[in-house]
Chains A and B, each alone.
Chain A
Amino acid sequence: MTTTTATPKPPTLPTMFLNWRLITYSPGTFMIHSVLVVMGFLFQVLPGLIQKQVFDTITGATRAEVNLWLLIALFVGVEVARLAANVSADWFGMSFRLITGALLRRNMFASILRRRGDTALPVSPGEAVNRLGSDVGEVSDFPTWFPDALGQVGAALIAIGIMASINLGLTVVIFVPLFATLGITRLAWDKIQHYSRLSGQAADAVTGFLGETFGAAQAVKIANAEGNLARHFARLNATRQQADVRERMLRNLLEMISATTVSFGVGVLLLMARQAMANGSFTVGDFALFVYYLGFTTFLPGYLGTFVGDYKTQAVSIERMVELVLPEDPLRLVESHPVYVSHTPPPPTPPAKMPADRFESLDVTGLSFWYPGAERGFREVNLHLRRGEFVVVTGRIGSGKSTFVRVLLGLLHKQAGEIRWNGEVVAEPAAFFIPPRAASISQVPRLFSETLRENILLGQVEAEVDLEGAVRAAVLEADVAQLENGLDTLVGPRGVRLSGGQVQRAAAARMFVRGPELLVFDDLSSALDVETEQALWARLDERRQTHASTCLVVSHRRAALQRADRILLFKDGRVEAEGTLDALLAGSEEMRRLWQSSEADGHDADSGDLLR
């Protein structure tokens, strides 16, 4: 695939292809639904014929000996069958929508979870929720309209055929202008698509803003800005209203155009049927049949217009869903996974520790990364870590030490270099450096609105892990004792009911409970005070006696530096020196300055001017 334009269109999935994938995902449900829908429409043709027969019999237009009451009973039978077909079709259609909707949501969510830090989601979580809701709803609904269109067209063609066989001239006069309206609706489709895109964006803005506002509830309250935000919200809503009304009115206009052609058809019928009825070539029964059939066949052009219009707006929703999956292959949006509609999903199995996961060595050679268009980053960094070591990465702010760890863990994509685990090349660090091999806590960890216990376990089976030990290792046991319900305390959205330091330590406990071979700490100093951090390192010392875990720590605090088997000293994106604390203090001016600046500040090893 080559693109010649300067701004290539973002990759998406063809509408037909996506619909096909959804249909083949749940083919049984779809087929049953389709057969029922088509049946329901075809049944529509019968009552017209029966009605004609009834009127012709009573006016004596036909000589055939027909029992009228049998005809009427037949009519009831046909109607009941048609309605039963419709209702069951709805049931299966609804199941199909929810099943395929669940699959799309699952795949989008999984893709978002796999996303790397340097390819952040293009929209806020609130907007993403809008896409997971309304766009998924649109797209999962659409395939069920195919049998609908098929049934409509089939029933209409049969009806038109019957009408033509009764009176060809009348049929032509009625239907030629009708199909001319198809041309008009065709013109409106692109406009509809345009408005649909606008109203989707406007809806994104509304939900995105709501999400951001309630995510910042405290900030809003203390800024005394509740009224201002509500006013802004009203403006966003008004924009959405305008876009949505435009789209809908255009659709309604199209429907009206086709509906007026029905009236036109009946008018033509009234004018032209007069003579035919006078000479007996057109019976009252024929008249009743025409009026009955016009009722649904004349809706066809309008319906087809709407159908094609809807088909086109699908492209908008698909694009918006694919955007959340990119830069992954858009195909992952529709990859097949079970969604468990008929029974409870089996419990997830936490990854078991395999013998091959046992950590022996980590060898990083020539690792390089720099932020696009900026001077920040690091180049040509080597690191060799052996089982049981405690290695500290240090340096000034902006020296590249935190970036290095993020690249190593795959949160950012390396530009050059190689990472080997026990001698084997690690191709996808983000997928590889997870428990039970490695675990890390970020500078700003997130908790979820569940109990503290669930937040720490996050899917681990409590009976199989050492929860108590993990809580202790994270210096969290005193806090747990103080909480009203201990580990069963609900921590609130994003863990807001805990303090910043408690969140950080809960995240540490989350890491410990997974018993990883390699522990990675990325600068805890911003959320933990000195004494708590010291306690954490002391606990870690105890734990390493029994767990033999290897530690890679980003820190400039003395408590960490003093424990280090080795220190990697970063300066301006390169490793300035490597060795024990004593060796570095003896040999590196930079190390001495770091160390002394903290001493000058007294209490806190990290807040000297050099570092801060």
Chain B
Amino acid sequence: MRVYTRLLGQYLAPQRGRMALLAVLLFTGLGLQLVNPQIIRYFLDATQSGGSQNALLAAAGLYVASAFTQQALGLAGQYVNQQVAWRATNALRHDLMLHCLRLDLGFHKTHTPGELIERIDGDVGGLAGFLSQFMLQLVANSLLVLGILALMFREDWRLGVGLAVYTAAVLLFLGMVQRLTAGRWQAFRAISAELFGYLEERIGGAEDIRAAGAMPYALHHLLTLSRTLLERYRAAVVVGALIMNVTNVLTAVCYAAGLGLGVYLYTQGQASIGTAYLIVTYVGMITSPLHVLRGQARDLQQAAASVQRVQALFALRPEVAEPSTLVSLPAGALAVAFDGVTFRYEDNEAVLHDVDFKVLPGKVLGVLGRTGSGKSTLTRLLFRLYDPSQGSIRLGGADLRALALGDLRARVGMVTQEVQLFQASIRDNLSFFDDSLPDADLTQALKELRLWEWAEARPEGLGTTLAAGGQGLSAGEAQLLAFARVFLKDPGLVILDEASSRLDPATETLLERAVDRLLAGRTAIIIAHRLRTVQRADDILILEDGRVVEYGPRMALAADPGSRFYHLLQTGLEAALA
């Protein structure tokens, strides 16, 4: 329960004013509901006893006015409620997304984007009613129930007691069964997230599924998930239906009892016809707040499932933590040093063993190795996406673990082979949604890379929206956009990870220029399988199974017939002669 109050406090506190307004609207509306039957009683009794014309007219007018006011208050309440609900859930979505993005890469390697969509958007959506209404509805409807009970006691204590016992029984029953369903809703939400996560991933890989002739298999899995979804939904709903059935029967019995009592009191001469009608109306009315309370109990069950799943995400903490004392980085090109770095993912075998090397400011290191030799891991460590298991990495003379993550990542730029583009404007794609970057900077960067003519020719210039997944963009254009991103960042260290595969010669020339511009005055680590790409390197480092098997100045290694680098240079020639 403390979890709920904390959530409510955190996301409703900024909306105090709106909440107060909502409370006023809700309470006034419910209060007016209590008034209407009184007017009708007065009317009925006055008609029977021949009351004055004006008084009757006034009663009718009052009734209509009260009813109109109720409706208007209801509409206003709806509006405020919508605002509160959306603001609260959107704030929660924002925090949850930011939290997830800051979690370690390991988290993202075990959760599909589709699942996270469902957890951040779907689960939070399930909280909308709970966040905005739960407390208010609980209070307002409890007050309404109490008001009705009080008015009934005023008419006849036996009526009051009877109705109070009935109310207590219904609430007790609701409390008891509520526990039954929370787990079922949670199971339902989990399978729902799995289903949509599955769909998102398979839709992204549709071509592979078809090429493997695995369509029947993929459909089969979807149907299996659909079936589980239906089963779990039924399991959750069946309890809800049971509750509804029982309370509804109780309601009918109660209403009949009210009718019987009214009749009895009237025939005994203890109540007027107006009062008999009033009793029937109030007894009928008490079911409405009880239904609302029951609905809230059901929402709470569904919300409980969502809250638990949201909390489970918030409870995760990144292992890569911000340091307590911060060191700042020097301006300009940054030196890099790996000192006895060993790294393993979780408890697996180490992927880097005792790696040592240095790159002086402004120098270029070329890293070679087969796939899986640890090159990509090396770059991830430089961004502190993971911390080394042993040893340390220094950037600009400072241990990475002493730098603020933001500072570190602001000063290191990387161009990868696979460019991640968003369905958003060219401007947002370049700046990574940073609004503070002036267009002049973007234009400047594009001009440097000779990409400005391309951007200018788009229908809306920088504001042109790129298609989903970068469709309609050549691989070369995507690569150049990635360069422009790094260019804008103005880093002190640049990492190029196989940045030039599958490109046509014209684009290749453009990219060569881009690399020249990007590397000027910066330290660089270039990772590639291709020798051509590392011809810019001052030093060469060869990785094999996570170990440095060769490290030295490129010229010296190329000239040494005993070196692996020399051997690699020869392999192609040997293949040609064979």
Contacts and interface: CB of A to CB of B under 8 A. Distances in A.
A69 interface: yes
A432 B578 CA distance: 39
Contacts of A459: 214, 216-218, 220
B526 interface: no
A245 B86 contact: yes
B422 A212 contact: yes
Given A91-B241, A349-B216, A599-B573, A604 B47 contact: no
Contacts of A439: 211-213
A83 B114 contact: no
Contacts of B485: 223
Nearest to B109: A492
B422 to A, nearest CB: 5
Contacts, number: 478
B372 interface: yes
B343 to A, nearest CB: 14
B282 interface: no
B146 interface: no
B571 interface: yes
Contacts of B578: 562
A340 B197 CA distance: 21
B208 A558 contact: no
B239 interface: no
B interface: dominant SS: helix
A528 interface: yes
Interface string B218-242: 1110111011011001100110010
B201 interface: yes
B223 A339 contact: yes
A312 B50 CA distance: 52
Contacts of A443: 502
B393 interface: no
Interface stretch (A6-14, A117-125, A172-180): A117-125
Given A127-B468, A288-B277, A442 B208 contact: yes
A382 interface: no
Given A253-B75, A435-B212, A532-B370, A210 B121 contact: yes
Given A102-B223, A493-B112, A252 B78 contact: yes
A540 interface: no
A106 B226 contact: yes
Contacts of B67: 260, 262-263, 266-267
Interface residues of A, number: 177
A228 B252 contact: no
Contact of A348 (B71, B217, B248, B432): B217
Contacts of A234: 90, 93-94
A214 interface: yes
A234 B435 CA distance: 14
Contacts of A69: 260
A116 B576 CA distance: 39
A259 interface: yes
Interface in A290-318: 291
A84 interface: yes
Contact of A105 (B226, B238, B251, B372): B226
B237 A94 contact: yes
A479 B351 CA distance: 12
A439 B211 CA distance: 6
A54 B376 contact: no
Interface string A480-521: 001110000010111011011110000100110010000000
A51 B280 CA distance: 10
Contacts of B50: 278
Contact of B219 (A216, A253, A348): A348
A222 B383 contact: yes
Interface stretch (A145-153, A269-277, A325-333, A567-575): A269-277
B109 A344 contact: no
Contacts of A414: none
Contacts of A227: 98
A607 B212 contact: no
A21 interface: no
B572 A484 contact: no
A165 interface: no
B345 to A, nearest CB: 8
B196 A448 contact: no
Interface in A228-287: 228-234, 237-238, 241, 244-245, 248-249, 252-253, 256, 259-260, 262-264, 266-267, 270-271, 273-274, 277-278, 284, 287
Contacts of B424: 209, 232
A102 B504 contact: no
Nearest to B408: A224
A443 B337 CA distance: 35
7 contacts: A54-B263, A58-B263, A263-B68, A274-B56, A349-B216, A435-B213, A609-B505
**What are the 3 tightest A-B residue pairs by CB atom distance, in nearest-first order?**
A459-B217, A501-B371, A263-B67
Given A72-B260, A507-B208, A607-B531, 12 more contacts: A68-B260, A105-B222, A109-B202, A113-B206, A127-B468, A209-B424, A245-B83, A263-B67, A345-B220, A350-B213, A397-B503, A483-B348
